[in-house]
Amino acid sequence: MGLRAYLLLRANDETDQESFSRGLLALEDMPEVDFVDPVVGSHDVVVMIEAPVSVDAVAKKIEALDWVGEMEILRIVSIFERQRASKRELLKAMRHEGV
């Protein structure tokens, strides 16, 4: 398994329904894309990608598509990485407060 991330995409305001649909189908055809789901809310599309080395190169390729307006990357991390980082922050805060 490589590195994974969720991409939250907003379509450009100029993008019509046909262009949007074609764009989603093109995303689904990309080998690094696991799934593409249109959503309602602050973003228009959620995309899950997996890359062997870096999700950034795949994300840049997707961000460069003419119908994509804005993109946010949510990298998937191991629960153990998240826990270690949280634990370090907690210990640092406790030392600072003299606990």
More confident residue, 12 or 83: 12
Q: Taking all residues of the chain, what is their mean pLDDT, rounded to a whole number?
A: 87
User: Is residue 97 predicted with pLDDT exceeding 70?
Assistant: no
Q: Any idea what the Cα angle at residue 44 is, between residues 42 and 50, rounded to 5°?
A: 110
Between CA 24 and CA 31 the distance in angstroms is: 14
- Is 3-97 in CATH node 3.30.70.920? yes
Q: How confident is the model at residue 53 (pLDDT cuts 50, 70, 90)?
A: confident
Between CA 56 and CA 73 the distance in angstroms is: 9
Give the rounded percent of residues in the chain with a pLDDT score beyond 70.
79
**In sequence order, what are the residues at sequence separation of 6 or more whose Cβ sits closer than 8 angstroms to the Cβ of residue 85?**
none
Between CA 91 and CA 97 the distance in angstroms is: 10
